[in-house]
A and B are shown apart, each in its own frame.
Chain A
């Protein structure tokens, strides 16, 4: 089954690619992909017909209950057949529908992606996986609806569909998580068995409401129905596919799927039945008044979805079977109706039913097909719609006997039936009779032969199912119902004639009443025109979305005024509040029981120097260069402190980071405006002083509290296992590349992304650098003094030697890929500074993206390589080699990983600094140099 879904997903780019060889080829490719998928499904079918439920499972994160698992039972099979079968017909139809200027490859790629996502929904065993495919259908349907991207209504309709169904999906995620919490598993086979547990659980109602929100938004149930008519701006093949067999059926599929788990409670009946009934009526009434051909079909789709939902809401097994039956019938006749509407639109250039009249004379063949399909929609006997509607009426009557005011249900349902017949009449009469066409852009005629074939096949199915239900649809329906109900299927009879009963009477009333209603439509239309503008959902939706956006914008603007100082102040203030609340909440004393070490003079001196330098940085902050030097002092003292506390790795890292930072800041200082900032407002200064004292004091208190307590760290473990486990005596490096290699992989990925982000920000940024210094003196014309330039070139091999040395010994002695990378980066930056960008770029590639990519690739491949040997990701190994001159030395696979770290560090550092340097030369007057870096 995985293969089946993969076929379709892989087919999507294939169809797009094939399109470069011609439009028709793309359609062929899409069709072939679908046929291959159908064949795969057929090979799985015999087992399902024997009553098996096929489940294919691959563990992914079993402990979190997340697996890749697929399930094929009767219900899934029915839907998969509908999706693939109608998909195939739509592919054939679209090949004739799309105009020469429309991009075929894109269309078929989207369509196949959507098809794959739908298949994923109906074949999922894991509900979280189901949700992923569910969201994929939202996304791909967005692409399909907005296929004509140049049209504003298409974009708006697609956005609305995405917003509504996406919001529903979010609610559903909550529902699924609750469901998994109740049941203890996300697997459907478990969930479907534990219906009693779920229904008795206190969280049942929230779960139900959240899941129903998802299903209702997808299936366009009232009051979320409004996106569907607005999605009619999609190309008609898309509408035919999305709104007959797939997208909107996903919601009712979910109702069917979870029927055994969730149904059978008063809440279920009230929510599902209520929404279904409202939708049925609203859709049917609105459909009659739409002048747009597709608008009428859209509202009729809504109404039929309501009908199906209502059947599931009634909650008896028989009603659910009727619901599944109507899903099949509706998919067949609605797809053919949409296709017929598309043909009419295509051949007349209009969809307005006030203009397209009397087409019987021009396209009798199409007219005949459309009329049969419309009759099926109205529920005329001998057609498939009649059968399921009859079952529906019968179910409505039998359900009403249990209810107070029960007669209301059959009555409302009959009214909806009357309207359904009326709008079907309107579809037939307005379009094909009713005088002559009015002012059409094109003169109507029959479409190409093959464009009608899909419609013919669907209409033939309508007739076959309608006349010979027991032979055609019954086995499949029984199978699907058993898959849905998870229990024996109740007896049902798909005969045409059930004798004189209430359901037949309701059918007759609907047919006759619908005819009368259509005849007397004129006053109703006037009434509708008067109130129409009040009944529009779109302005309301737009206002809601606008309000949400406005509120979000207001919050952002209130918090982020564009002032960095303010943001930092807010951030520090929040951190201080959290920290203080932590201190206050704890009742243990600040000073722990551990004895203090004696203070020695050198430490005191270093601490004093550190404090003085930090303080001086604040005081001198207006003299930028001086404060930069002071920051350097702080960094150097910190690295000396690391040396004192036997952390040579940290000291080396700190030192090299310090160098790179200072260079970076020097490059950035050049662009700062020269004008003196006005002094801060005294209030601001007071705020800053208070904040910094509180924050700094808090950190100091925290450090004091931690350091005066005895504590066990995991350091002992690392110290003990570094050599036996990682084969290196430099514990820091072994932790980085071996024990916590996964963290490091994540970190270098972040580093690479940050570098790319900075690159993206610098790209195309033009800053004007000053041409003179603070006192109005021009820059020295001697950009690259020969003494410096030539001696720096001498330094490069030496620095690279040091870097290689640090890298190679990293596993056993202070060093490693990170420090070596920084040293290399500094060595190369020296060349840029001393010799200028142009000179260096002619010798070194300036494009550092491949280096970044190579580094990530090396690190990841090292991790993956351990899979080859059957070990988990990033397992490292080591061995000892004997090299004649050097002696015995150790080779660890972690060193290759370290090489990846090295490359990423070099790439990221250089990428940032080179591009800052390039900005310098661009801003500088002399065309080819790095600029003065003072």
Chain B
């Protein structure tokens, strides 16, 4: 039973990661491309981490805590990098599919 669950989680993680990468390659402007690696990858890597934690917990007979730490790191760093990338894009006034939000973040030249 567990094996099926693990297999599902790994496959799901792989699929999410692949979709994220695909989005990074295919989407048309910077802002939408940003969704790919941040959201989808977070979900994908999360799935794989849960699978890993479950597998090694069972293998070693005690809870495996490494993955918790990795998850923590991931959940702290991924939003920060996404936030910074978006901020930089707005500052650089990269072209967008929709109008950019106001002049608030874009400084005057």
**What's the minimum C-beta distance from B106 to chain A, rounded to whole angstroms?**
10
Assess the A785–B83 pair: CB atoms within 8 A: yes
**What's the minimum C-beta distance from B40 to chain A, rounded to whole angstroms?**
21
Q: What are 14 sample pairs from A and B whose C-beta atoms fall under 8 A apart?
A: A777-B109, A778-B107, A778-B109, A780-B88, A780-B107, A781-B107, A787-B79, A787-B84, A788-B83, A791-B76, A791-B80, A794-B76, A795-B73, A795-B77
Contacts of A787 in B (CB 8 A): 79-80, 83-84
Task: Determine whether B58 belongs to the interface, using a CB cutoff of 8 Å to chain A.
Answer: no
Closest 5 CB pairs of A and B: A780-B91, A787-B83, A788-B80, A791-B80, A791-B76
Assess the B87–A798 pair: CB atoms within 8 A: no
Contacts of B76 in A (CB 8 A): 791, 794-795, 798
Assess the A934–B88 pair: CB atoms within 8 A: yes
Task: Determine whether B1 belongs to the interface, using a CB cutoff of 8 Å to chain A.
Answer: no
Nearest-CB residue, chain B, relative to A795: B76
Task: Determine whether A434 belongs to the interface, using a CB cutoff of 8 Å to chain B.
Answer: no
Q: Within the complex, which residue of A780, A781, A782, A798 is in contact with B73, where a contact is CB–CB below 8 Å?
A: A798
Q: C-beta contact mask, B70-96 vs A, less than 8 Å → 1, else 0? A: 001100110110011001100110000
Nearest-CB residue, chain B, relative to A775: B92
Task: Determine whether A792 belongs to the interface, using a CB cutoff of 8 Å to chain B.
Answer: yes
Q: Within the complex, which residue of A777, A778, A785, A791 is in contact with B87, where a contact is CB–CB below 8 Å?
A: A785
**What's the minimum C-beta distance from A447 to chain B, rounded to whole angstroms?**
82
Interface size class on chain B is: 10 to 19
Task: Determine whether A802 belongs to the interface, using a CB cutoff of 8 Å to chain B.
Answer: yes
Question: How distant is the Cα of A795 from the Cα of B76 in the complex, in angstroms?
Answer: 7
Nearest-CB residue, chain B, relative to A780: B91
Q: A780-B87, A787-B80 are in contact. List 12 more A-B contacts (CB 8 A).
A: A777-B91, A777-B109, A778-B107, A778-B109, A780-B91, A787-B84, A788-B80, A788-B83, A791-B79, A794-B76, A798-B76, A802-B69
**What's the minimum C-beta distance from A210 to chain B, rounded to whole angstroms?**
67
Assess the A777–B73 pair: CB atoms within 8 A: no
Nearest-CB residue, chain B, relative to A779: B91
Q: Could you tell me which B residues sit within 8 Å of A by CB distance? A: 69, 72-73, 76-77, 79-80, 83-84, 87-88, 91-92, 107, 109
**What's the minimum C-beta distance from A758 to chain B, rounded to whole angstroms?**
28
**What's the minimum C-beta distance from B91 to chain A, rounded to whole angstroms?**
5
Assess the A798–B107 pair: CB atoms within 8 A: no
Contacts of A781 in B (CB 8 A): 107
Contacts of B87 in A (CB 8 A): 780, 782, 785
**What's the minimum C-beta distance from B37 to chain A, rounded to whole angstroms?**
14
Contacts of B107 in A (CB 8 A): 778, 780-781
Nearest-CB residue, chain A, relative to B87: A785
Question: How distant is the Cα of A787 from the Cα of B83 in the complex, in angstroms?
Answer: 8
Q: C-beta contact mask, A801-828 vs B, less than 8 Å → 1, else 0? A: 1100000000000000000000000000
Assess the B69–A798 pair: CB atoms within 8 A: yes
Nearest-CB residue, chain A, relative to B82: A787
Question: How distant is the Cα of A781 from the Cα of B87 in the complex, in angstroms?
Answer: 11
**What's the minimum C-beta distance from B7 to chain A, rounded to whole angstroms?**
21
**What's the minimum C-beta distance from A796 to chain B, rounded to whole angstroms?**
11
**What's the minimum C-beta distance from A669 to chain B, rounded to whole angstroms?**
16
Contacts of A780 in B (CB 8 A): 87-88, 91, 107
Interface size class on chain A is: 10 to 19
Assess the B92–A777 pair: CB atoms within 8 A: yes
**What's the minimum C-beta distance from A794 to chain B, rounded to whole angstroms?**
6
Q: Within the complex, which residue of A785, A794, A802 is in contact with B84, where a contact is CB–CB below 8 Å?
A: A785
Question: How distant is the Cα of A782 from the Cα of B84 in the complex, in angstroms?
Answer: 11
> Which residues 11-41 of A sit at the B interface, judged by CB distance below 8 A?
none
Contacts of B92 in A (CB 8 A): 777
Contacts of B80 in A (CB 8 A): 787-788, 791-792
Contacts of A801 in B (CB 8 A): 69
Question: How distant is the Cα of A802 from the Cα of B68 in the complex, in angstroms?
Answer: 12
Contacts of A792 in B (CB 8 A): 80
Question: How distant is the Cα of A934 from the Cα of B88 in the complex, in angstroms?
Answer: 9
Question: How distant is the Cα of A801 from the Cα of B92 in the complex, in angstroms?
Answer: 37
Nearest-CB residue, chain A, relative to B92: A777
Contacts of A788 in B (CB 8 A): 80, 83-84
Assess the B72–A798 pair: CB atoms within 8 A: yes
Nearest-CB residue, chain A, relative to B75: A791
Nearest-CB residue, chain B, relative to A934: B88
Contacts of B79 in A (CB 8 A): 787, 791
Q: C-beta contact mask, A763-803 vs B, less than 8 Å → 1, else 0? A: 00000000000000110111001011001101100100110
Question: How distant is the Cα of A934 from the Cα of B91 in the complex, in angstroms?
Answer: 13
Question: How distant is the Cα of A792 from the Cα of B73 in the complex, in angstroms?
Answer: 10
Question: How distant is the Cα of A792 from the Cα of B87 in the complex, in angstroms?
Answer: 17
Contacts of A798 in B (CB 8 A): 69, 72-73, 76
Contacts of B77 in A (CB 8 A): 791, 795
Question: How distant is the Cα of A782 from the Cα of B87 in the complex, in angstroms?
Answer: 10
Contacts of A777 in B (CB 8 A): 91-92, 109
Most buried by A among B73, B80, B87: B80
Nearest-CB residue, chain B, relative to A788: B80
Contacts of B72 in A (CB 8 A): 798
Nearest-CB residue, chain B, relative to A794: B76
**What's the minimum C-beta distance from A931 to chain B, rounded to whole angstroms?**
15
Nearest-CB residue, chain B, relative to A776: B109
Nearest-CB residue, chain A, relative to B90: A780
Question: How distant is the Cα of A124 from the Cα of B109 in the complex, in angstroms?
Answer: 79
Nearest-CB residue, chain A, relative to B91: A780
Contacts of A802 in B (CB 8 A): 69
Contacts of B84 in A (CB 8 A): 785, 787-788
Contacts of A791 in B (CB 8 A): 76-77, 79-80
Question: How distant is the Cα of A787 from the Cα of B82 in the complex, in angstroms?
Answer: 11
Question: How distant is the Cα of A788 from the Cα of B84 in the complex, in angstroms?
Answer: 8
Nearest-CB residue, chain B, relative to A781: B107
**What's the minimum C-beta distance from A829 to chain B, rounded to whole angstroms?**
15
Nearest-CB residue, chain A, relative to B93: A777
Question: How distant is the Cα of A787 from the Cα of B107 in the complex, in angstroms?
Answer: 19
Question: How distant is the Cα of A778 from the Cα of B92 in the complex, in angstroms?
Answer: 9
Contacts of B109 in A (CB 8 A): 777-778
**What's the minimum C-beta distance from A707 to chain B, rounded to whole angstroms?**
34
Contacts of A934 in B (CB 8 A): 88
**What's the minimum C-beta distance from A511 to chain B, rounded to whole angstroms?**
99
Question: How distant is the Cα of A678 from the Cα of B83 in the complex, in angstroms?
Answer: 37
Question: How distant is the Cα of A134 from the Cα of B88 in the complex, in angstroms?
Answer: 67
Q: C-beta contact mask, A871-892 vs B, less than 8 Å → 1, else 0? A: 0000000000000000000000
Nearest-CB residue, chain A, relative to B81: A788
**What's the minimum C-beta distance from A833 to chain B, rounded to whole angstroms?**
11
**What's the minimum C-beta distance from B82 to chain A, rounded to whole angstroms?**
10
Nearest-CB residue, chain A, relative to B107: A781
Contacts of B69 in A (CB 8 A): 798, 801-802
Nearest-CB residue, chain B, relative to A801: B69
Question: How distant is the Cα of A782 from the Cα of B107 in the complex, in angstroms?
Answer: 10
**What's the minimum C-beta distance from B101 to chain A, rounded to whole angstroms?**
16
> Which residues 735-782 of A sit at the B interface, judged by CB distance below 8 A?
777-778, 780-782
Question: How distant is the Cα of A806 from the Cα of B73 in the complex, in angstroms?
Answer: 16
**What's the minimum C-beta distance from B66 to chain A, rounded to whole angstroms?**
9
Question: How distant is the Cα of A798 from the Cα of B72 in the complex, in angstroms?
Answer: 9
Question: How distant is the Cα of A777 from the Cα of B80 in the complex, in angstroms?
Answer: 24
**What's the minimum C-beta distance from A663 to chain B, rounded to whole angstroms?**
15
Question: How distant is the Cα of A745 from the Cα of B69 in the complex, in angstroms?
Answer: 33
Nearest-CB residue, chain A, relative to B108: A778
Question: How distant is the Cα of A792 from the Cα of B83 in the complex, in angstroms?
Answer: 13
Question: How distant is the Cα of A154 from the Cα of B92 in the complex, in angstroms?
Answer: 66
**What's the minimum C-beta distance from B27 to chain A, rounded to whole angstroms?**
20
Question: How distant is the Cα of A637 from the Cα of B27 in the complex, in angstroms?
Answer: 27
Question: How distant is the Cα of A780 from the Cα of B84 in the complex, in angstroms?
Answer: 12
**What's the minimum C-beta distance from B17 to chain A, rounded to whole angstroms?**
16
Question: How distant is the Cα of A792 from the Cα of B92 in the complex, in angstroms?
Answer: 24
**What's the minimum C-beta distance from A832 to chain B, rounded to whole angstroms?**
16
Question: How distant is the Cα of A794 from the Cα of B77 in the complex, in angstroms?
Answer: 10
Question: How distant is the Cα of A777 from the Cα of B69 in the complex, in angstroms?
Answer: 39
Contacts of A795 in B (CB 8 A): 73, 76-77
Question: How distant is the Cα of A781 from the Cα of B72 in the complex, in angstroms?
Answer: 30
**What's the minimum C-beta distance from B95 to chain A, rounded to whole angstroms?**
14
Nearest-CB residue, chain A, relative to B73: A798
